[in-house]
Structure 1
Amino acid sequence: MALTYPLTTVSTRSQVSKTGISQLQAFQKILKEEGVKGFYSGISSGVFGIAFTQYVYYYWYEFVKAGLEKGAAAGRALTIGENMLTGAVAGALTAVLTNPIWVVNTRQVVRKDALDESGNPQKRQSTLSTALKILREEGVVGFWKGIFPALILVINPVIQFTVFERLKTYWSERKATSLNGFDFFLLGAVSKLAATSITYPYIVVKSRMQLKQSTDASERYTSVSDGFRKIIKQEGVKGLYKGIESKIVQSVLASAFTFAFKEELMSSAVWLLVLLKLREGKVVTAKS
């Protein structure tokens, strides 16, 4: 998240914009009006959000997976359908529990520095002040805006992990040596590319629904289908894919880094446990 956050900012700004601004123009506009710090609007809530989201998702993913494996026949691997069910349940629970964080983050990302009565820039709102403002103006329900497209988007990690596991199996069978960090980097990139490309229109609708809704009925989205209908009517089909270039690059890089770091950290952890004699095995073998 930290490495790819500027791409997230450019993509989110493009998603909620109803003008025909390009990715390059969005980048130049942020740089000109807000400086480099503009690319890191809301990064504190973003970093916390991604850490908490990953924790919740992996916890429930492993919990559900263990339950299914216990009920399966001895020695039988989970089927594609069972893997997808595991990802869907984990994703739905994660979406419900973490949506407030992403509502706050989206508001921070798209909010520019406000000006006071003298025309001087005011201090950007913190995560806490943004959350309190939502609570004050929209109530508790304001934190769950965009939850329906978020629930639909649980198919994103389902697609990603299904593609990842299949590619990993395919590549492992054809490679003479064990997979390394770079292999996992590539597998993570390809699997996330497939998932993001398929689900992107829902990401656009979710981002717009997470903003404070306009009083103008033509600008307000009452449901996912209403959002699709109004975007297509007002901006055409291409409106559903605003910001997709930077989002794909960000998603692919973030996923690739995540998988690569995860495998390297696990390898290093095993090596350290063996070195400290807390786990059986040879240090060289565990490290390799």
Structure 2
Amino acid sequence: MKIPDLTNYEHLIGGFCGGVTSTVVCHPFDLLKVRFSANEGNPLRPQYTSYADAVRKIIRVEGVRGLYQGITPSVIGAAVSWGLYFQWYNTLRAKINEEFSTGSEMVSNFISGSVVGSAIMCITNPIWLTKTRLCLQYENQQTKKYSGMIDCMRQTVQQEGFFGLYRGFVTGVIGTSHGAVQIASYSWMLDKRREALGLPKDSFISQTDYTVASAISKTLATTVTFPYQVLRTRMQDHNTDSRGVWRTTLRTIQNEGFSGLWKGCVIANVRQLPAAIVVFLTYENVKRLVRMTENQG
């Protein structure tokens, strides 16, 4: 049986596989990040003294499956986001480099990442909203408000209208700077590494190079842009009445100081660093496999 040539979709397939793999492996860390970011001290929420304490309390009441609340929209969102992101990013970057002269590869990378990230946010914001709300259904609540992803979307539309699915959209668009910083620095580091090795652009290099580049780029992007994640989580939380970016920002700073904008940053790096490495390593290796289908069809 002939294998169809899939090289036109190598970025889409690689990103899709990377998003699914990283989410399945790292979702419990994501759940903890969301809960710590949302916790403004409300006594109605369970109060955790540490990440280990949170894991113990969740497992004691709901079992290990409690650590995987919200995994369905998370898998769908990650697969769609990373698949489209890599496909559109590489297409747009090539177009910008062909048609315009920005004077800097890093600038081209950043512009491409920002534009593509904003476009994808228009598609995926409802998915991320449901993930956040499902993750914030606590073990100390007598009954769960949502039974799953579809039920969460249905209730959100019924109670808040269609645009309720786009709560946190503005911060999400602002947050595309996260992906732009990450992909720009990742691409730049790989380009410089290939240049140092005397290899053509887009040629495959060692797994260690991919690992180092993904780790550094993710840590940089997460730490620099983390406040948007806190604000977005709080705006999407169904347990509070947060409204608007400015109001949520002021409330956070007044009650918790500027450090409140980085609440959950440690667990975010713990969670997102291995997830980023898994995403990019999976993406690069799946892309390599897809290229093997060239001229096979």
> Which range, TM-score by smaller chain?
0.7 to 0.9
Task: Show the 5 A alignment for 1:1-288.
Answer: 1-19=23-41, 21=48, 22-72=50-100, 79-112=105-138, 114-115=141-142, 125-175=147-197, 179-212=205-238, 214=240, 220-271=241-292, 273=293, 278=296
Name stretches of at least 5 consecutive residues in structure 1 with no aligned partner.
Answer: 117-121, 215-219, 280-288
Shift of 1:171: 2.8
Q: Is the 8 A contact 2:106 2:185 kept in 1?
A: no
Shift of 1:175: 4.8
Which amino acid letter does the alignment assign opposite residue 213 of structure 2?
Answer: L
Shift of 1:77: 8.5
Q: Deviations over 1:178-214 (max 9, x none)?
A: 6222321221111011000001111010011012263
Question: Could you say which structure has the larger radius of gyration?
Answer: 1
Shift of 1:42: 1.1
Name stretches of at least 5 consecutive residues in structure 2 with no aligned partner.
Answer: 1-22, 42-46
Following the alignment from structure 1 to structure 2, what is the Cα–Cα distance between the partners of residues 99 and 179? Answer: 34
Following the alignment from structure 1 to structure 2, what is the Cα–Cα distance between the partners of residues 191 and 66? Answer: 21
Aligned length: 264
TM-score normalised by the chain length of structure 1: 0.83
Following the alignment from structure 1 to structure 2, what is the Cα–Cα distance between the partners of residues 265 and 211? Answer: 36
Q: Is the 8 A contact 1:31 1:38 kept in 2?
A: yes
Secondary structure of residue in 2 paired with 1:3: helix
What fraction of aligned residue pairs are identical, expressed as a percent? Answer: 24
Following the alignment from structure 2 to structure 1, what is the Cα–Cα distance between the partners of residues 273 and 242? Answer: 29
TM-score normalised by the chain length of structure 2: 0.80
Following the alignment from structure 2 to structure 1, what is the Cα–Cα distance between the partners of residues 289 and 117? Answer: 28
Using CA pairs under 8 Å that are at least 6 residues apart, name the structure with larger relative contact order, 1 or 2: 2
Q: Deviations over 1:63-109 (max 9, x none)?
A: 43243234147xx9963322221111101111121100001111111
**Cross-structure match for 2:20:** none
Q: Is the 8 A contact 2:137 2:145 kept in 1?
A: no
